[in-house]
């Protein structure tokens, strides 16, 4: 497996010279400074690639080439947006970059309510608190209908938290929920979020699936022509939030989207943490089921609570059997090698590490500290080496 590292380019507080010391050989990055819907011009791509190469890395995956919200809403004449997207793809391919990770989550990307929850024995992590999210939906946004989306105990705790919270507490919660948009230019307060949600009125699960299918039909043929691989990132969290449908949350959803346009170019980013936050998901089994369509992997772990909350765990100590998952990916790599595939290696990156030791105060992107992710990479490297040495790559 190809060890990789997410780097936010000029926006990142971690330098490539520091990343080099982690041992990773691949960089996962994007042009986060380019507004959604605009073309990524070849010259800018080439400059970013040159920065990566000069530091001794390979740019292995684009994460991500964002999809404009109008495409997700199916709003108006989308021909220019699709044309721009295809031109960005062509420019990336011309620079030798052929794997694109993306998501189809409406309005928000990954969503957390706490960016610095305390971890046992020290450190901090990202956390999704079902009571806090319920408080935002029900009491801050006035979405009374959201009560049915949470367990009764979570709703009771939500009301208790809201009644005791200060304006600063509520602003901090809103900031945390918005933090999963590293390249977006829109950040919302409560009133702004209400207005943005109105644009999605009437868009339920079947409608959003239709819009997603149209996107795939517009883009995947071009990916095939360019020799590119697209890999969708699962929903994070894997549940509806803010009344917005999430349609890439479990094995059934993955089966649907891969069949919507059945092509090797239409693939999956296997995110162990996103899928692992759903108690019904068996992540290693999902990896085995869809192995041939996995083009990229995010390896992280979560620990779930009974009320629907979860938090980032250390890579080897959460609810997902990471050793079994890595074994499944190694089996797929071996299958690809045996079949004579030239691009048999699956790039992966350690995802959402704990903030540890000197990570504190560096103000890196939430969930993306240096030491915490390096710990995760080291642990994963050990698992891969151990399985490869023993030849035990499957149960």
pLDDT of residue 188: 81
Cα–Cα distance measured from residue 350 to residue 141, given in angstroms and rounded to the nearest whole number: 34
Residue with the two structure tokens 């691989």: 229
Does the annotation mark 32 as catalytic?
A: no
Please tell me which residue in 68, 98, 315, 352 is annotated as part of the active site: 352
Over its C-alpha atoms, the chain yields an Rg (Å, rounded) of 20
Cα–Cα distance measured from residue 212 to residue 216, given in angstroms and rounded to the nearest whole number: 6
pLDDT of residue 390: 79
For the chain, 395 residues long, give each residue's pLDDT as a single digit of tens.
999 999 999 989 999 999 999 999 999 999 999 999 999 999 999 999 999 999 999 999 999 899 999 999 999 999 999 999 999 999 999 999 999 999 999 988 899 999 999 998 899 999 999 999 999 999 999 999 999 999 999 999 999 999 999 999 999 999 999 887 655 556 788 888 899 899 999 999 999 999 999 999 999 999 999 999 999 999 999 999 999 999 999 999 999 999 999 999 999 999 999 999 999 999 999 999 999 999 999 999 999 999 999 999 999 999 999 999 999 999 999 999 999 999 899 999 999 999 999 999 899 999 999 999 999 999 999 999 999 987 765 44
Does the annotation mark 271 as catalytic?
A: yes
Please tell me which residue in 298, 307, 321, 354 is annotated as part of the active site: 298
At 301, give phi and psi (nearest 5°). -135, 155
Classify domain 2-110+202-390 at the CATH class level. alpha beta
The domain limits of the chain are 2-110+202-390, 114-198
Does the annotation mark 352 as catalytic?
A: yes
> What three-state secondary structure class fits 321?
coil
pLDDT of residue 394: 47
* H-run or E-run covering 372: helix 370-390
Cα–Cα distance measured from residue 59 to residue 95, given in angstroms and rounded to the nearest whole number: 10
316: CB partners within 8 A, 6+ apart? 301, 322, 323, 379, 383
pLDDT of residue 185: 59
Does the annotation mark 351 as catalytic?
A: yes
Please tell me which residue in 32, 68, 211, 233 is annotated as part of the active site: 233
pLDDT of residue 379: 97
Please tell me which residue in 98, 351, 354, 359 is annotated as part of the active site: 351
Does the annotation mark 298 as catalytic?
A: yes
The answer to whether the pTM exceeds 0.85 is yes
């Amino acid at each position: 497996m190809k060890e990789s590292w997410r780097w936010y380019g000029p926006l990142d507080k971690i330098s490539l010279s520091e990343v080099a010391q982690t041992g990773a050989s691949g960089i996962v990055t994007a042009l986060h400074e380019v507004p959604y819907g605009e073309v990524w011009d070849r010259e800018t791509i080439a400059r970013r690639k040159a920065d990566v190469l000069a530091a001794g890395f390979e740019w292995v995956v684009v994460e991500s080439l964002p999809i404009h919200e109008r495409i997700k809403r199916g709003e108006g004449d989308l021909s220019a947006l699709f044309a721009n997207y295809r031109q960005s793809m062509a420019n990336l391919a011309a620079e030798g970059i052929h794997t694109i990770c993306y998501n189809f989550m409406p309005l928000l990307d990954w969503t957390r309510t706490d960016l610095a929850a305390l971890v046992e024995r020290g450190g901090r992590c990202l956390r999704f608190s079902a009571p806090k999210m319920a408080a935002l939906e029900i009491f801050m946004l006035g979405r009374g209908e959201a009560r049915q989306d949470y367990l009764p105990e979570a709703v009771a705790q939500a009301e208790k938290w809201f009644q005791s919270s200060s304006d600063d507490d509520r602003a901090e919660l809103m900031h945390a929920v918005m933090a999963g948009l590293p390249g977006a230019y829109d950040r919302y307060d409560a009133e702004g979020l209400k207005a943005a949600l109105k644009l999605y009125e009437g868009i339920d699960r079947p409608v959003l699936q239709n819009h997603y299918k149209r996107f795939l039909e517009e883009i995947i043929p071009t990916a095939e022509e360019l020799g590119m691989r697209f890999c969708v990132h699962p929903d994070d969290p894997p549940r509806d939030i803010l009344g917005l449908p999430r349609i890439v949350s479990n094995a059934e959803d993955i089966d649907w989207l891969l069949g919507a346009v059945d092509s090797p170019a239409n693939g999956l980013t296997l995110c162990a943490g996103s899928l692992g936050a759903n108690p019904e998901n068996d992540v290693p089994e999902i990896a085995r089921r869809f192995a041939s369509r996995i083009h990229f992997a995010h390896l992280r772990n979560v620990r779930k609570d009974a009320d629907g909350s979860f938090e980032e765990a250390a890579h080897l100590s959460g609810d997902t059997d990471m050793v079994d998952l890595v074994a499944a990916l190694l089996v797929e790599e071996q299958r690809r090698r045996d079949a004579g595939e030239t691009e048999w290696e699956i790039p992966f990156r350690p995802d959402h590490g704990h903030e540890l030791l000197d990570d504190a105060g560096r103000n890196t992107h939430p969930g993306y500290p240096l030491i915490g992710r390096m710990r995760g990479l080291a642990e994963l490297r050990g698992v891969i080496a151990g399985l490869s040495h023993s030849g035990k790559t499957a149960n």
